[in-house]
Each structure stands twice: as structure tokens, then as C-alpha cells.
Amino acid sequence: MIATEKGLGALSRFSSFENETVENDSAASRRAALAVVPSALAHTAERGGVSGKIAAYLETADLPSPCLVVDVDIVEQNWVELARSLPTAKIYYAVKANPANEIVSRLAGLGSSFDTASMGEIDLCLEHGVPPSRLSFGNTIKKERDIAAAFAKGVRMFAFDSMAELEKIARVAPGSRVYCRVLMECEGAEWPLSRKFGCEPQMAVDLLVAARDMGLDAYGISFHVGSQQTDLSQYDKALSHTSSLFAALGARGLDLRMVNLGGGFPSRYRTDVPTISAYGEAIMTALTRHFGHSLPDIIIEPGRGVVGDAGVIQAEVVLVSEKGGADGRRWVYLDVGKFHGLAETMDEAIKYRIETPHDGKETSPVILAGPTCDSADILYEKADYRLPVDLVAGDKVRILATGAYTTTYSAVCFNGFPPLASVCI
């Protein structure tokens, strides 16, 4: 959605923001965690805050509410920093995190490859001039006709985690490169992954041997340590298991050539997270420990870590109410909720930072909820969220680090509300 401009600053009540870029150096990891409602200017140098570019835009843009605003320069900055930190890895951006045309176009221009989950995402990348050699069909659950369609368009790399999926690939995408996704622990991840994707390690050995026997190129192994992974040691554990699989397959005459580490790179929410460079150092150390200096091809599939910090949702307070009882907390209803892109508040897993025009004043505990008629549309009830007591209906608020998994999770028209609007600047 393209926003129109108006002369008066729509958010002039907010503190002014200096035009500083997001920091990714080691100093960021040493700073204390931000409060839920940061004091004025406290966030301007913080990763995942409001960039000067977004702040200036919000001063003049006439936006629908709610609306996501993404600073594409920050997307590029995060991608470049990741490429610097893991120079031996090929980056396959996870399109599902945010498939905005401007983001795909910018990353395509940087030479990124892309992890795709559907023919829709494949076609999107191809429309932006991405050659099919830079695409991976990374979903392990694919219709056979979609595999055939991707193959016809030149895609030659496919993920699988079962014999049934492998047989589909062999039938309609002969000779393709395939990699097997293996189950790994997700300890330390704020958004852990279930057993829906990946197979047991011993099964992976048998499947990759079968792939070779079917005439496919048994390329390697993939895993995912969980989204928003903040425990750097999890990569070492996963790579230890992976190197054992390489050895087991070598004993059966199959020399694998690739490790796909998936994603897990975080955004900056309520607490500090390690810097991008810290992830690079931890991963490279683990790779050398378990594979020596003859490293296989390395693939990473970042999504949240590239686009999450680049986005801010501007929303509006619909109602502030009290309901009596011993709890005493106010209910704050926003015009954005679980069905408008904040699905990752499910089980209060991802805890976003929130700014209001009254920051720095007295606060009190609140329960945060969305606007729909669904009782599941409660964002935070257990987590300790405190917002200014002066907050009233009509106030604009900013929900930080919402560039990933928001527009793609937004319902089409639940309760008649339009899906989350979005603009890239």
C-alpha cells in the first residue's frame, strides 16, 4: 500500500528521533535490556528501535491504522552484516518472513539466494529477476505438481524429510539436488519448532542413500535450531550431530557436500540478543571443530534476522477499560492483534516492545488485546506489560521490530477487518 503525505506531523506528540542507524557491533550486546516502555531517546541507537528514516516518515505520512513500515536500508544492512560474519556461507533469504516486492528486489540486487515454500514465492522471485539456480524449494511438504512446475522453471534444489516426498521429487524432478531435513532440539529458542518438519537422524541416513539410488544428487543435510534462537551453543550441538551423519553416510559410500543451518537469527525484542557477528563467530568455530578445515558448502536461511528489526507497526488504541475484580489491571485494546499479523504473540512467545506518546510518565500493569470478537485475540496477559496511565483511546502506538512474520500472518478479512497494511521506504 502506498501512503499519502500530509503537512501536519501525524505523530508530533512522540519524542523526536535522531537519524542514527541500527548498530550490530559488540557494544550492542553489552547494553542492559530495554524497559517495555523506554524513556525518551533511549532506543535511538538500539537494534530493533525506530530508525531515523522511519521516524521522519511517520511524521508526515497519512497511513491507515494499523500499518507496518519497513526501512529497506536496514534490511540491506542486516543482510550485508550477516554475509560479512559468515563469509563461507551462501545466504538463502526465507521469503516467508516478509515477501514485500521491495525487499525481494533489494536482496536480489545484493546477490542473495532465496528459500521458498511455495510456487507463489518461487514466481515472486523469478519476477524480480532471480535466476532459478538461486532458489531452493525448502518446504518438505509439496504437491507433486508444484515440484514439477518448479523443475520446469529451472529450480533444481529441493528439501525432503520422508520417503514419500523423496519419491515425488524423483518422479518429476529427476537428477535434482536434494537435502534431507533432520530433527534437532530447539532449546533456547523463543519460537521453538515442532516435529512437523524433519526426520530422525538414522532415517535421514537411509533416505539419503535411497536418494542416490533413485538417481538424485544427495547433496546434504539441513536442520533448524528454532526461530529467535538466542543460545549460540545450539549450533555447536546441531553441527556435532550433523558431522556424525556425514561420517555414517561416508561409511555407506555417500559423500555429502552441503550443510544447511536454516535460520534462527534473532530480532531485538524486549531483551538484548547476541550481535550478528557473534552468531558468525559461534557458527564458524563450530563448523571448524566438527568438520576441520575442509568445510562442506554452507547454506543459511535467515528471515527474522534480516527483516525483523527493519519494521515498525503504527497502531491505534481502540479502548482502555477496567473490569473490576482483584486483578486491577487495565485492558488496552489495539486495532492490531493476533489476526492482523501479531500471531507470534501466541503463548506470548514473541514479546514486542511498545512505544506510546506518553512514554516517560507513570505506568501501570495492563493486559493487551486485539480488536476482534475472538477470545483468543489477547496478546499479553501473563507477561508483565506496563503502559502509561495517561494512555487513552485514539493514541497512536508503535510496535517495534515487527518486520518479520506480520504481514504474512495477517488474516484476509477476519471480522471484516482489512489485512495489515504495509509500506516499504
Q: Where are the domains of the chain?
A: 4-70+309-424, 73-307
Kindly indicate the confidence band of residue 126, based on its pLDDT and cuts at 50, 70 and 90: very high
* Cis preceding linkage at 66, omega within 30: yes
Which residue of the set 125, 186, 373, 413 is catalytic? 373
Mean pLDDT of 164-181: 98
| pLDDT tens for each residue of 192-249 | 555 678 899 999 999 999 999 999 999 999 998 876 777 888 889 999 999 999 999 9
For 399, phi and psi rounded to 5 degrees?
A: -105, 115
Q: Could you tell me which residues are beta bridge partners of residue 268?
A: none
Asked if the 4-70+309-424 domain carries CATH number 3.40.720.10, the reply is no
pTM for the full predicted model: 0.87
Q: How confident is the model at residue 45 (pLDDT cuts 50, 70, 90)?
A: very low
Q: Which fold has domain 73-307?
A: TIM Barrel (3.20.20)
Over residues 151-172, the pLDDT tens digits come to 999 999 999 999 999 999 999 9
Alpha-carbon distance of 245 to 204, in angstroms, equals 8
47-50 CB contacts, 8 Å cutoff, 24+ apart: 47/22, 47/23, 47/268, 47/273, 47/309, 48/22, 48/267, 48/268, 48/269, 48/308, 48/309, 48/353, 48/400, 48/401, 49/22, 49/268, 49/400, 50/17, 50/312, 50/355, 50/398, 50/400
The answer to whether 237 and 261 are in contact (CB under 8 A) is: no
Residue 199 annotated among the catalytic residues of the structure: no
Q: Which residues, in sequence order, are CB contacts of 346 under 8 Å at separation 6+?
A: 338
Count of all residues that appear for the chain in the document:
425
- For the chain, give the mean pLDDT: 88
End-to-end CA distance of the chain: 11
d(CA 167, CA 3): 48
Closest by alpha carbon to 67, among 416, 397, 412, 415? 397
pLDDT of residue 293: 86
Residue 150 has pLDDT above 90, yes or no: yes
In the predicted model, is pLDDT for residue 16 greater than 50?
Answer: no
- Do residues 153 and 126 lie in contact, with contact meaning Cβ atoms separated by under 8 Å? yes
For 207-235, the DSSP string reads HHHHHHHTT-EEEEEE----EEE--THHH
Identity of residue 338: K
pLDDT one-digit tens code per residue, 337-371? 999 999 999 999 999 999 999 999 999 999 999 99
Q: Which of 150, 234, 246, 242 is nearest to 198 (CA)?
A: 242
Phi, then psi, of 316 in degrees rounded to 5? -130, 145
Give the percent of the chain with pLDDT over 70: 87
374-382 mean pLDDT? 97
Q: What is the tens place of the pLDDT at every residue in 277-300?
A: 999 999 999 999 999 988 999 999
